Each structure stands twice: as C-alpha cells, then as structure tokens.
Amino acid sequence: MKYVRFLENGKIGYGILRDKEISILSGNFLDHAEETGEKTELGKVKLLSPVSPSKALCIGLNYTAHIGELDMARPEKPVVFMKPSTSLLNPEEHIVRPRQSKRVDYEAELCVVIARKAKDVRKEDALSYVFGYTVANDVTARDLQEKGGQWTICKGFDTFMPIGPYISDEVDPSHLEIESRLNGKVMQHSNTENLIFKVDFLISYLSSVMTLEKGDVILTGTPKGVSGMDAGDIIECEIEGLGILRNTVS
Ligand code: MG
C-alpha cells in the first residue's frame, strides 16, 4: 500500500493513497491505524513528508561510481552521518540555499522507514523491521564538505532533507531504478542493486550501535551525477514504485 501524511483544512491527516483518492486513517499508519471509510482527494490536500523521524541516519559513499566522482576511497565499513529533524522538508517546498555556501547539491536516495523498535537485529531478520520505502534528497553544501572530516554541517541545514511523496510497502529495495532530474534534465540514473552496503546489512549494522525507533529513517546513499542547484531550479528525485519527490530551490 501507499501511505501519505497530509494537511487538509489546517489539520494533519494520514491515509492510504489509491490512484488519486486518499482513504483516511484513524491515526498514524505507523501505529497501525485503520481506515475510517472517509475519503479525500490528492488534489485537495497538501502532502507532507510521510514521516517525521526522531533521527535520520545517512550512508555516504554507497555507490561505487559516486565515490569516483568525489575522488574518495571505497569504505570498508559504512560511512554514517546524521541529519537533524529540523532539516526535514515537505514535497514541493523550497530548499533554501544557506548564505555560507556557494554550491548546494541534490542527492537522490532510497529512504528506509523503520516500523518498530530495532536493537541488535540480525541481518536475516532486518527487513521485517521495515515499514516501507520512500524517496529522499540528501541536500548537501558541497563546498562545506570536508574530505575525511565531519559532514554534519554541510548536510544539516534547515530544508536539506526533503522526503516523500509517500511510503510504499510494495517494493523490493534490492532492485529499483533511481533517478534525479534538474529542470527536467536527467542528472543521476542508477539502480539500487548497485548499493555497496544493502538495506538489510545497514539495519543490522546501525541497530548494533543504537536503537532504531519507529519512524526513524535511513538514507542509503546516492549514485553518481551530483551537481549544484541555483535559485529557481526544480529538482525531482524519482524511484521506481515510490513516485517523484519534487522541490524548488530558493
Ligand atoms: Mg547522500
């Protein structure tokens, strides 16, 4: 199913998206809310990012071709950094370029949404802790990224984590086409089969360190083809079966 969080008449709602119709739920789908029988339409609501995570764990350098374009070394263990909850951005909203940076990049990424508390999860059990998948843009102030140093500053600005438009529990994360388009031009194109560290391993690895909570997200890394965005640009990140995450740049 496809799950959405939305704003209608000033109130946050949760629903299941079927074509252009939303079947309204009694509460958050992460809490196993049930369908109320009420309906609304996609065109009548403002879609919000489908999750509001307590933490966003992000994997760097997880596609070989992207490591090459950044002139970095292939990691032996996952490169992990975090984005603050304040960087979350809804679909269709503005990515704000900060005054400290002259080069702000898009990074299309498969985003894993955790279903329930996960600690010391074995790799073979890991996918049972996944609620579903969505699209994220790991926006990065490339000129503030330090090679071998911390990445929290360059990736932690407000508006630097668009997520959406919906969560699907119907896709196989091991083989999904992934693409980004800047003003309609294809910039990144790959497939999640090219991930160096796969979703099940990442959940096991991360949960061996910290408890993953319901609604936490893992951004799994971006393929090659990153470049900067300017004011007025439109960036679209699309993953097979997960729709298009579109944002404007200001
Ligand atoms: Mg990234």
Q: 34 pLDDT exceeds 80?
A: yes
pLDDT digits (tens, 9 = 90+) for 38-50: 999 999 999 999 9
pLDDT band at 74 (very low <50, low <70, confident <90, very high): confident
pLDDT for 65:
85
pTM across the whole model: 0.96
pLDDT digits (tens, 9 = 90+) for 194-240: 999 999 999 999 999 999 999 999 999 999 999 999 999 999 999 99
Residue 123 C-alpha to ligand 1 middle, in angstroms?
23
Residue 59 C-alpha to ligand 1 middle, in angstroms?
6
> Which residues, by Cβ under 5 Å, contact ligand 1, an ion?
107, 138, 222
CA angle 134, 220, 230 (to 5 degrees): 80
pLDDT for 21:
98
Q: 147 pLDDT exceeds 80?
A: no
Q: 67 pLDDT exceeds 90?
A: no
More confident residue, 64 or 190: 190
pLDDT band at 66 (very low <50, low <70, confident <90, very high): confident
Residue 184 C-alpha to ligand 1 middle, in angstroms?
21
Identify how many contiguous H helices and E strands the chain contains and give both numbers. Answer: 3, 20
CA angle 130, 237, 164 (to 5 degrees): 45
